[in-house]
Structure 1
Amino acid sequence: MAQQRRLSRLNRTMSARWRWMGSDFDVSWQLVSGLIAADVTQAQGGAAQDAIDAAALVIPASDMLATPSPAGFAGIASDGRDLTSLLYGAVVKAKSVDAESIAERLEAGRLWLVGAAETQVADATRLASSVSTAASSYYGYQRLVAPGCCKRCAALAGKEFRWNDGFQRHPRCRCIHVPLREKRSGYTNDIDPSQVRDLTKAQRRAIDDGADMTAVINADRGRSRNGMTTSEGTTKRGWHAYVQRAIDHEQGASTAYTTTGYRQQGFVKNYPVRRVSKQRLTPEAIYRLCGNDRDAAIRHLAANGYLVAGHSPSDVARIALGRT
């Protein structure tokens, strides 16, 4: 809540200063850049102080080797360059946007500025929290994802990292670190699909039908050009491969599935063939091919590694074969 209030104040202040911009963008920027950079610097320092204070509530003083200074996270961009240099991107945006009026160009620049400043303040929070963990005897951190996140962040919710692992983020990412004394497998930061803003209709339908949200989201990686197949999760250690071997075992097969790739003509309701190795169907493809046959869709969600029923490949294999 404190972070959101800080960002709201910063956005209002920057927007007010940005209104001083005139038709000569570079000259106007010289007048306001120092003030805007000072506003962002102050917000970065406050965010860093909050992160250090929050870490102190989790990490006992006896476990701290040193105490970070909030000033070290303010006044510079998270990529190491001068903050004013980064914020000049708002002028570049205003110059390059395809718009006829100066007002439209300035609005595009303002939106870019707000997004960049929000990212820099959030990065100050994350960096201060990360340094607090690194300056302690703690194992690492866990990624805490806020509601309203994108699906890339939702797939990382609750994941644990060592103290020196980088924090993957995108512009305006609101995820934060939570210090961990030791590695704790099995814990997740529960995110309801309704709190993920950019899931597709097919992805939401698959999750409603029992598919694992992370598996559905990760299928976006390695997606084919037509969106029908994905190579994600098809390695020998992937969940999909475990399910395929369990299907072979259920059918008494002595050999694993072939490596010839998935051919659409092999897709039949009872799933008697398994030609998946380098590719598997996406949820969108499954619903397109199964139509209104929900039972068939669920079987194929299982066979393609999207269901995690009871965390047992054998359970999922039986669903894929219609033996439940």
Structure 2
Amino acid sequence: MAAEDLAAAHYQAQAELGRQAAIAGQELWQRIDPKAVLPTWRPLVAKAAAVLAAAQYAAAARAQPYVANLAQSMGVQPSPAAALDPAAFAGRAANGGDLASMLLMPAVQTVALLAGGADDRTALRAGLAALTRMMATETADAGRVATSVAMTADRQFVTYVRVVHSPACARCIILAGREYTWSTGFQRHPRCDCTMVPRVHRPGRGYDTPAPASPDELVARMSPEEQDRIFGKAGAKAIREGADIGQVVNARRGMTTAGGKSITTEGTTSRGHAGRLLGQLSKQAGDRYRRSQIPRLTPEQIYREAGDDRDEAIRLLQRFGYLDKGSTARRARAVAKVDQAAAAEREALRAEQARQADVERARRAIDEVRRKAEEARQAAEQAALRQAEERARREAAEQARRDAVPVGARPYHRSLDGLEDLARRVETQKVTETRRLGGASAQTELVTFADGSKAIRKAARVGLAESQDAAAEHAAQLIARKLGLKAPRVYRNDAGTIWMEYVQDGVTAEEGGLLQRLRDRFTRVPGSDRGKVLGLLDLLTNNVDRNAGNWMLDKAGDLIPIDHGMAYGEFIEQGMEPTLEWVHSDFAAHYKDPDTDKPKANPLTKADVAEVRRRLEELRPDFEHIGRGHWLDYSLRMLDLLGRYAKGSRDLIAGVR
């Protein structure tokens, strides 16, 4: 990669670090109570300082690789005297102060504004602006200082140049492209966006990298409105008429009024350009150099005196050292260079548009091929599905004959602990009302008994393996409740039918997502402790159907998992190794990489894993009773797999019921 591309990429990366640090600070600031600014901010300062220190570390860590890459792009091998330690640049402010103390100041400023009568919004926004400025500036400073140290460590780098990124202030613009020795400190102001590019100079060959944009080139790229905003209308007008940018900007440093006229003392000594032009030099008491006794008018005063006389304005600009033939020639060269670059960019844009058009044509051709292939695949899939459905119907009929069981709970429940009331109503009460609720693998109904109580009845659809759906609902519910989740209890009284407790006040995530007042409440659930436990349940049971309609919250806000008919699956066989490939949800993402389906560090603790294993083993008699012992074995093997990646610091399940 060319040096200028490396510098641009480094700038973008460092700027992004500063932006992310500022965003993190903003998120913390939003937690402040305007009625208790300091009490609510103090506990958050440590977090803000930790975020900033991490950003400083990351910015500093990029410095030495960046300098090494620059050296290679310039044709020399990196040769640092020692390795840079990024930690040395993190955890303290640029002035050496404590980060936490510095980050407390925005809150102090906010309190002062509130005490002065400012409204909450104004005061908090002022404090936020100060905080984000600190986060971004301190991150950038750490990166710049680390780059300077990395350059110093490699003796091949003897100078660096200042690169100014638009938009920039006038003081930075006049320093654009300026070259400094390696030992010269980098001048910057808060939120300064400038960067340094170290350079290797080889006798007889000069520099291998092009010089960055000069002040004249930066100005030539600006619109008149941008020039007026940065330099002031009079200063911008003088620059457009050929005035030296540095003279115009520096003149403002010594501005004063004498005899009703706006003058400046900047540049009027014997060492300054204007001082040598004006003459009448004499040394006053306390002065280090002789200074011209002729007042130097500012550009604003010159335009007031010249009025509409352009020739007079140019004469005065020359007379007072703002305009010379050299600055005019430089400006012309800068404009020509900018115009040439713009023409090259337009040509590159046209070439890119032509290339994209070619790519689009190729993409459409590929899409057409894929479309036809997809149609063929779907046709073959439909044919295979029809064959599978016919085979499933035959197998289901055969299975029904083999699995004929007596009425009642005995084939499916070892006991009715906790199910007594539901079983009594199912076996003794008449169903007086039925309402269809849908269902993918089973026909789901809300039924009302003669006593007015309600329950959910699910019956496997014709053509599906009835016992599979019912057994999955039963088994998954057993594990869910062992994990401490409030899954509705399941009562099974024939091969393909189950009855579930009805959650009177439950709202599904699908329903809650449609209500503005509930949306945030449901959005937070996947990242909660209960959400993490639900992700564990789905992986232990290989539940492939955790959609927004398959979990709900009750009035108390408790998470309730429902609809587990797609858990385990008929393909779970004895001795089968666990896989994370088929379970996809925000809950399961706590345990697996969504892109690779590989396990990752998860929030379980080692104590959680041991406790879950103990609870699952308690269920073995129940699983053996329904003929699904191999399902429990699969769950335990999955737990072993997840246990190898358990990195949690706080128990989610151990000691919690």
Which residue among 32, 51, 54 is the counterpart of 2:63? 51
Question: Who wins on radius of gyration, i.e. which is larger?
Answer: 2
Q: Contact 2:268/2:276 (CA < 8 Å) preserved in 1?
A: no
Q: 1: CA distance between counterparts of 2:322 and 2:212?
A: 18
- Cα shift at 1:80: 0.7
Q: Contact 1:125/1:176 (CA < 8 Å) preserved in 2?
A: no
Task: Give matches, 1:1-324, under 5 Å.
Answer: 1-22=12-33, 23-59=35-71, 60-97=76-113, 98-137=116-155, 138-182=157-201, 189-191=213-215, 192-193=218-219, 194=222, 198-225=230-257, 228-244=262-278, 257-259=279-281, 276-277=292-293, 279-310=295-326
- When residues 63 and 7 of structure 1 are mapped into structure 2, their CA distance, relative to the original with a 3 A threshold, is same
Name the aligned partner's letter for residue 177 of structure 2. G
Q: Give the aligned length.
A: 287
CA offsets, 1:177-201, max 9 Å, x none?
111334989x663242326652100
Q: 2: CA distance between counterparts of 1:84 and 1:159?
A: 35
TM-score, structure 1 normalization = 0.80
Name the aligned partner's letter for residue 302 of structure 2. I
CA offsets, 1:118-161, max 9 Å, x none?
11011011101111122121223221111111011112112222
The secondary structure found in structure 2 opposite 1:233 is: coil
Name the aligned partner's letter for residue 156 of structure 1. L
- When residues 276 and 81 of structure 1 are mapped into structure 2, their CA distance, relative to the original with a 3 A threshold, is closer
Q: Which moved more, 1:116-125 or 1:219-228?
A: 219-228
Q: 1: CA distance between counterparts of 2:55 and 2:324?
A: 43
Q: 2: CA distance between counterparts of 1:77 and 1:114?
A: 14
When you count strand as a share of all residues, which structure comes out higher? 2
CA offsets, 1:4-30, max 9 Å, x none?
332332222221111111222222122
Q: 1: CA distance between counterparts of 2:79 and 2:327?
A: 36
Q: Contact 1:145/1:154 (CA < 8 Å) preserved in 2?
A: yes
The secondary structure found in structure 2 opposite 1:228 is: strand
Q: Contact 1:119/1:171 (CA < 8 Å) preserved in 2?
A: yes
Q: Contact 1:140/1:180 (CA < 8 Å) preserved in 2?
A: yes
Alignment match, 1:254: none
Unmatched tracts of structure 2, length 5 or more: 1-11, 284-290, 329-657
The secondary structure found in structure 1 opposite 2:196 is: strand
Q: Which moved more, 1:153-162 or 1:75-84?
A: 153-162
Q: Contact 1:99/1:105 (CA < 8 Å) preserved in 2?
A: no
The secondary structure found in structure 1 opposite 2:255 is: coil
Alignment match, 1:267: none
Name the aligned partner's letter for residue 78 of structure 1. A
- Cα shift at 1:259: 4.0
- When residues 163 and 199 of structure 1 are mapped into structure 2, their CA distance, relative to the original with a 3 A threshold, is same
Name the aligned partner's letter for residue 83 of structure 2. T
The secondary structure found in structure 2 opposite 1:58 is: helix
Q: Contact 1:134/1:140 (CA < 8 Å) preserved in 2?
A: no
Unmatched tracts of structure 1, length 5 or more: 245-256, 262-274, 313-324
TM-score, structure 2 normalization = 0.41
- Cα shift at 1:235: 1.8
Q: Which moved more, 1:192-201 or 1:102-111?
A: 192-201
Q: Contact 2:270/2:281 (CA < 8 Å) preserved in 1?
A: no
Across the aligned residues of Structure 1 and Structure 2, the Cα RMSD in angstroms comes to: 2.7
Q: 2: CA distance between counterparts of 1:182 and 1:228?
A: 45
- When residues 278 and 89 of structure 1 are mapped into structure 2, their CA distance, relative to the original with a 3 A threshold, is farther
Alignment match, 2:414: none
CA offsets, 1:103-124, max 9 Å, x none?
4322221111011111101101
Q: Contact 2:160/2:181 (CA < 8 Å) preserved in 1?
A: yes
Q: Which moved more, 1:1-10 or 1:81-90?
A: 1-10
- When residues 128 and 260 of structure 1 are mapped into structure 2, their CA distance, relative to the original with a 3 A threshold, is closer
- When residues 284 and 260 of structure 1 are mapped into structure 2, their CA distance, relative to the original with a 3 A threshold, is farther
